[in-house]
Amino acid sequence: MLYREMEPGFQHAFAAAIRAYRRGSTPIGCAIMNADGKCVAKGENSIYSDDRAEIINGHHLAHAEINAILKLDRLEHPDVSSYTLYATMEPCALCFGAVVMSYLKHVKYAASDKYSGAVCLNTATPYIKDQNIRISGPFDTLQDIQVALIVHRRLSVGFSSDDQFTRLYSSYSPKGVALGEKLYRDPYFQGMLASCDTAGIIIDYMLSQIDAAELDAAEAL
């Protein structure tokens, strides 16, 4: 897989995730696509940044999905039931609740979040069940890329390579964890992440390193 082969919604979402990371926040991105396949809103996690391009920033509610949904002008988009929300990480309870209350009917997410993911809420109450929201995800290779970004950031800000979250990610995305650790030791990737403005180039490099990361991890055992 290459970046250009991803669904456009995931291309936009991962580009937002890369921007979030480069601005000092958690690398999670979101895009909302209309029925014609046009991106009508994008959002990035800005919990740890003061990016004024986002609706909410510097606050624990500044999740990528929330920022994307809030950018949907109700006058311009009176009926979003045919739209699809793309997220690089499984929406949490906050974000899935926002999906339900905004009447979006399709969610696609790249990576599972076994700690705080909340798409299981899709059958939690009669009201939510009546919304008939379709959920698609995770997607294996995209999941590995997203987990690698999360692991890379955690290592970069000083978390251990054997903390509870990394162990949890290893249970369902060992390639992603191995890739994140390999890229953390890769000065070329570090420079690319700091200076390259093209998300596709960064993602393609990550994709090219997945098999090598898996081999390195196997040899380390």
pLDDT tens digits, 77-108: 989 999 999 999 999 999 999 999 999 999 99
pLDDT band at 31 (very low <50, low <70, confident <90, very high): very high
168: left (phi over 0), alpha (psi -120 to 50) or beta: alpha
pLDDT at 212 over 60: yes
Sheet holding 39-44, edge to edge: 39-44, 29-33, 84-89, 106-111, 134-136
pLDDT at 220 over 80: no
Looking at residue 218, what is its pLDDT? 57
d(CA 49, CA 112): 24
pLDDT digits (tens, 9 = 90+) for 157-169: 998 888 899 999 9
pLDDT band at 217 (very low <50, low <70, confident <90, very high): low
Looking at residue 52, what is its pLDDT? 78
Residue 168 CB partners (closer than 8 Å, separation 6+): 114, 115
Residue at 125: amino acid letter: T
d(CA 44, CA 30): 6
Tokens at residue 187, please?
A: 């000065």
pLDDT at 147 over 90: yes
Residue 16 CB partners (closer than 8 Å, separation 6+): 29, 30, 31, 42, 43, 44, 64, 88
Measured at the alpha carbon of residue 203, what is the angle toward residues 144 and 186, in degrees to the nearest 5? Answer: 85
d(CA 193, CA 191): 5
Between residues 126 and 219, the one the model is more confident about: 126
pLDDT at 118 over 70: yes
Tokens at residue 213, please?
A: 């990361």
Report phi then psi at 32, rounded to 5.
-115, 125
Q: Which of 62-71, 115-124, 189-198 has the lowest mean pLDDT?
A: 189-198
In eight-state DSSP terms, residue 219 is H
pLDDT digits (tens, 9 = 90+) for 172-186: 999 999 999 999 999
pTM of the model: 0.95
The SS3 of residue 162 is coil
Which uninterrupted H or E stretch holds 108? strand 106-111
pLDDT band at 1 (very low <50, low <70, confident <90, very high): confident
134-136 and 106-111 beta bridge pairing = parallel
Choose among 141, 161, 162: nearest CA to 152. Answer: 161
